[in-house]
Amino acid sequence: MIQVDVKHNAEVRQRFVTDYSSIKNQILSLQNLNNQISVKLYSLLEKNKAIQAKCFTGIYPPTYTFFCNVYAPKLWEFILSTHLPNSQAEAILINTLIKAWQQFDPHTLREKHLFSRLLRLACSEGLPTDCLKAILQAEQIVENNCINLHPYPSANETFS
């Protein structure tokens, strides 16, 4: 009976060692796969950053979605600050972005001038220029006090 228990314990121990080795190998394999995925993901993120950086150089023209994601929030901020009714403000924003995208040429228009162009188009769509001038002048005063709230410096030149 003692020999049977010893034999049985040896078999159990051998199965445990085999199972442990198998699990350990699977864990190592998964860690290796995870590292490969991390490297690939990092590579894709870097490529995405490079493509976004090149969107306005003419090498990779931006998509309409990228264009809207970059410019719509700041343009919307300006439009809302004129206190127009929401329906009118939305119409100005939509029409401005559509017209700007239709006229967009990355070879002739650089990013720093594009926001000025957007403001001019927004005014042609019904954005009150008097309100916009006051907003831009207020931002210029803030900028002169070393607090830069305006990421598009050329926009101030548009209505001076």
Looking at the structure, tell me whether residues 72 and 115 fall in a common domain.
Answer: yes
Q: List the one residue out of 160, 84, 86 whose CA is nearest residue 128.
A: 84
Q: Is residue 38 part of a domain?
A: yes
Q: Is the pLDDT reported for residue 115 higher than 60?
A: yes
Cα 155 to Cα 116: distance, rounded to the nearest angstrom:
5
The pLDDT confidence band at residue 127, using thresholds 50, 70 and 90, is: confident
Q: Is residue 24 part of a domain?
A: yes
Looking at the structure, tell me whether residues 24 and 76 fall in a common domain.
Answer: no
Total number of domains constituting the chain: 2
Looking at the structure, tell me whether residues 40 and 16 fall in a common domain.
Answer: yes
Q: Is residue 59 part of a domain?
A: no
Find the domain containing 18 and state its range: 1-54
Cα 104 to Cα 144: distance, rounded to the nearest angstrom:
31
- Sort residue 58 into left (φ over 0), alpha (ψ -120 to 50) or beta: left
Looking at the structure, tell me whether residues 82 and 20 fall in a common domain.
Answer: no
What pLDDT does 159 receive? 46
Looking at the structure, tell me whether residues 32 and 76 fall in a common domain.
Answer: no
- Sort residue 62 into left (φ over 0), alpha (ψ -120 to 50) or beta: beta
Helix (H, G, I), strand (E, B) or coil at 25: helix
Looking at the structure, tell me whether residues 74 and 47 fall in a common domain.
Answer: no
**Last residue of one domain, picked from the residues 31, 54, 77:** 54
Return mean pLDDT, the chain.
Answer: 74
Looking at the structure, tell me whether residues 73 and 149 fall in a common domain.
Answer: yes
Average pLDDT over residues 80-101: 90
Looking at the structure, tell me whether residues 95 and 134 fall in a common domain.
Answer: yes
Looking at the structure, tell me whether residues 87 and 140 fall in a common domain.
Answer: yes
Q: Is residue 10 part of a domain?
A: yes
Looking at the structure, tell me whether residues 111 and 32 fall in a common domain.
Answer: no
In this prediction the pTM is: 0.49
Q: Alpha carbon of 41 to those of 24, 27, 36, 38, 47: distances in Å?
A: 25, 21, 9, 5, 10
Q: Alpha carbon of 4 to those of 1, 10, 16, 46, 61: distances in Å?
A: 5, 10, 18, 62, 77
